[in-house]
Amino acid sequence: MTEAQAIAIAWTTLPQREEAERLASEAVGAGLAACAQVDGPIRSHFTWEGRTQVEDEFRITFKFAVTQGPHLEAWVHARHPYALPQWIVIEAAHVSPAYRAWILGVR
């Protein structure tokens, strides 16, 4: 499969539902992702600046063409409220042909 045909999934988390909904909606509206789903609240346990912390967060799952990945990443980071935003991307190993065509057709 070529890069032009590849689909990826990325995740980030935000502290407020309203911020997550806005970021998800705007990313789809800008054509950077075909779909963005907001989950939460989720309970995150993490170490930050030497201290263990527990916070409620809202996760966004983005689905997009791999070729859009660098643009989506830069766009999200420019608008993200965290100093160090979570940004995890995986390339989908298997995507049904019809779903792949839909994602690749969204721009």
Note the pLDDT tens digit of each residue in 52-104.
999 999 999 999 999 999 999 999 999 999 999 999 999 999 999 999 999 99
17: pLDDT strictly greater than 70: yes
Phi, psi of 40 (to 5 degrees): 135, 175
pLDDT at 107: 66
Residue 30 CB neighbour total at 10 angstroms: 12
Distance, first Cα to last Cα, the chain: 20
Model confidence at 2: pLDDT above 90: no
Token pair recorded at residue 29? 């509206």
Distance of CA 41 to the CA centre of its chain: 16
Instruction: At 82, list the tokens.
Output: 């965290």
pTM for the whole thing? 0.94
Alpha-carbon span 104 to 64, nearest angstrom: 8
What domains are defined for the chain? 3-105 (3.30.70.120)
Give the torsion sign (CA, 32, 38, 41, 45). negative
pLDDT in tens, 24-61: 999 999 999 999 999 999 999 999 999 999 999 999 99
